[in-house]
């Protein structure tokens, strides 16, 4: 019961800011001493469930802008598939990214009360380059990539908070599917507790994405995103 509750809370917190929770699920599975070979595909499956709910809520609330999202998606999807097929030592990458996420969280906390303004999208070339890099990293580390994309969208001034969340959750969904396809050989070794965890994250994801897309005020979303980044940063380090 405690384990299911932990997955529920992770999904609730992450989905409220347009994420799906892979870094949090990986942290919980590490505490449960799940075999490393099973962790990446399990986290991606849970990611897909939560991101599907999140995409439905954020798109349904009118926050998704296809013109912003497509350049990131078109390059990230094949690169996530490639990253998912690789088995490389990622400790250095994870540590560096963890530090970046922690610094980003501090920056968001400093800007907690800053007015939420419409963003100015990047050029298609820049967005495609960013999408390729983040997609590869997403597949390699077993996360959907939104944990990297959303702070970049905000700090670069490319989107407002809810457009960022909507873009991130669609990005996560696409790249989680691509990353999982790159790991089809690992699907015969999934954790026994996965069905229960799936129920927990669906419940948390449904509640969190509804709150984030329709109810939470901008400072609350900013604070929640900062907490998510701190959690992910500590896990990656």
- What residue ranges do the domains of the chain occupy? 2-236
Query: Cα–Cα distance between 148 and 214 in angstroms, integer?
Result: 23
Range among 78-82, 86-90, 166-170, 176-180 with highest mean pLDDT value: 166-170
Q: What are phi and psi of 82, to 5 degrees?
A: -65, -45
The three-class DSSP label of residue 71 is helix
Q: Could you identify the residue written with the tokens 């097929």?
A: 85
Pick the range with the lowest mean pLDDT from 101-105, 111-115, 122-126: 111-115
Query: What is the structure's pLDDT at 229?
Result: 80
pLDDT level of residue 90 (50, 70, 90 thresholds): low
The three-class DSSP label of residue 154 is helix
Report pTM: 0.85
pLDDT level of residue 47 (50, 70, 90 thresholds): very high
Per DSSP, the residues of 197-221 read: HHHHHHHHHHHHHHHHHHT--HHHH
| Nearby residues of 82 by Cβ (< 8 Å), 6 or more positions away | 136, 139, 182
Query: What is the structure's pLDDT at 217?
Result: 74
Report which of 99, 104, 89, 134 is spatially closest to residue 17, judged by C-alpha positions. 104
Please state, rounded to an integer, the average pLDDT across all residues of the chain.
Answer: 85
Asked if 237 and 101 touch (Cβ cutoff 8 Å), the reply is: no
pLDDT, one tens digit per residue, over 125-134 is 999 999 999 9
Query: Cα–Cα distance between 105 and 231 in angstroms, integer?
Result: 10
The three-class DSSP label of residue 192 is coil
Query: Cα–Cα distance between 205 and 217 in angstroms, integer?
Result: 18
Report which of 78, 61, 185, 65 is spatially closest to residue 122, judged by C-alpha positions. 65
152 pLDDT more than 80: yes
Query: Cα–Cα distance between 177 and 157 in angstroms, integer?
Result: 28
């Amino acid at each position: 019961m405690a384990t299911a509750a932990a997955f529920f809370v992770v999904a609730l917190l992450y989905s409220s800011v347009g994420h799906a929770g892979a870094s949090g699920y990986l942290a919980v599975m590490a505490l449960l001493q799940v075999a490393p070979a099973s962790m990446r595909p399990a986290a991606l499956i849970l990611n897909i469930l939560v991101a599907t709910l999140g995409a439905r809520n954020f798109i349904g609330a009118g926050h998704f802008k296809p013109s912003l999202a497509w350049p990131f998606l078109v390059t990230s999807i094949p690169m996530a598939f490639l990253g998912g097929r690789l088995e490389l030592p990622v400790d250095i990458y994870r540590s560096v990214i963890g530090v970046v996420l922690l610094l980003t969280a501090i920056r968001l906390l400093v800007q907690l009360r800053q007015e939420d303004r419409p963003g100015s999208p990047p050029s298609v070339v820049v967005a495609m380059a960013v999408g390729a890099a983040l997609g590869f990293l997403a597949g390699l580390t077993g996360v959907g990539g939104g944990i990297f994309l959303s702070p970049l969208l905000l700090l670069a001034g490319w989107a407002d908070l809810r457009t960022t969340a909507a873009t991130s959750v669609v990005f996560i969904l696409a790249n989680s599917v691509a990353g999982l396809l790159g790991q089809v050989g690992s699907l015969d070794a999934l954790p026994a507790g996965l069905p229960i965890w799936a129920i927990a994250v669906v419940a948390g994801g449904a509640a969190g994405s509804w709150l984030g897309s329709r109810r939470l005020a901008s400072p609350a979303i900013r604070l929640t995103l900062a907490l998510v980044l701190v959690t992910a940063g500590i896990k990656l380090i």
